[in-house]
Amino acid sequence: MSNSGCPFNGDANKRELEEDIHTDFKDDMSYSDYLQLEQVLSAQQPLSKEHDEMLFIIIHQSSELWLKLAGHELAKALECLRADDFGPAFKVIARVKQIFIQLTQSWNILSTLTPVDYLKFRDDLGRSSGFQSHGYRKLEFLLGNKNSDMLKVHKNNNQAYQELALLLNSPSLYDEVIATLVKAGFSIDDCVLNRDVTQAYQSNESVVKAWLAVYQQPEKYFELYELAEKLVDIEDSFQQWRFKHMYTVQRIIGYKAGTGGSSGVSFLKKALEVSFFPELFEVRTLL
């Protein structure tokens, strides 16, 4: 059909550049300058010529940025709890929950990578593996899943090794929460208060009893009650992320061994059995 009777007007569907919008960045910092986008966007360097390797790299690089932010927020949460500043602590803990929701969603994107397409470049990864993620291990240590053996993976990166060693030897988020219970007047066993913080936390009956009292009297202990639920939010979202990670790996490589030498899916499943705040789940049975 001829359109000669309808002259085309390109301006009808055009947004004009407003007069005050800045366009000259010769002497001013731009958006790209502020975010150092030249460095960020040039960091994707596929080792193969396979199309899907770019997806694989970007998913993992962006995940590392989210992990870095989660660690930043949890460090602030510890600082706030030491100062009994509950409001800001709640805020950053809630933010960590949302970060893990975002991270979980990223596995849905990676799951569009088919087994056949992944195998085309998997060998190019060598021994590199997400198990070696400094950001992930930092979160585990901050949340209390301590294991000194995990430091071995980072012995060739002095900065990462030193940071993780410091966290290994420092109280975790849950250690600070239990100290808050003590300040609120609850009796906690000395074996908990004086425990070796380099070891993974183990459930204790005195902590169960303290949380039971908090849940039975939420009006009296509202801040502790709210804190407990924020912690459960973190574990819930973290475990969903772990599960989706495991399931995505299973979907793409089945039960092959991991590139870093682990058993793969079987190893990832074991992480689902680890609880950061065990008493907060035990208390639900007792209510």
Say if residue 58 carries a ligand binding annotation. Answer: yes
Is residue 59 a known part of a binding site?
A: yes
Task: Tell me: is residue 122 an annotated ligand-binding position.
Answer: yes
Residue 10, CA distances (Å) to 14, 91, 237 in order: 7, 48, 48
Residues near 283 by Cβ (< 8 Å), separated by ≥ 6? 208, 211, 212, 215
Q: Was 82 annotated as part of a binding site? A: no
Q: CA-CA distance, 126 to 244, in Å (whole number)?
A: 24
Q: Is 57 annotated as a binding residue?
A: yes
Gap between the Cα atoms of 229 and 237, Å rounded: 12
Q: Which residues of 60-91 are buried (b: 16+ CB within 10 A; e: fewer)?
A: eeebeebbeebbebbebbbebbeeeebeebbe
SS (H, E, C) 136-192: HHHHHHHHCCCCHHHHHHHCCCHHHHHHHHHHHCCCCHHHHHHHHHHHCCCCCCHHH
Cα–Cα distance for residue pair 141/183, rounded to 1 Å = 24
φ, ψ at 261 (rounded to 5°):
105, -5
Residue 268 per-residue DSSP state = H
**Residues annotated within a binding site:** 56-60, 118, 122, 245, 259
**Residues annotated within a binding site for substrate:** 56-60, 118, 122, 259
**Residues annotated within a binding site for heme:** 245
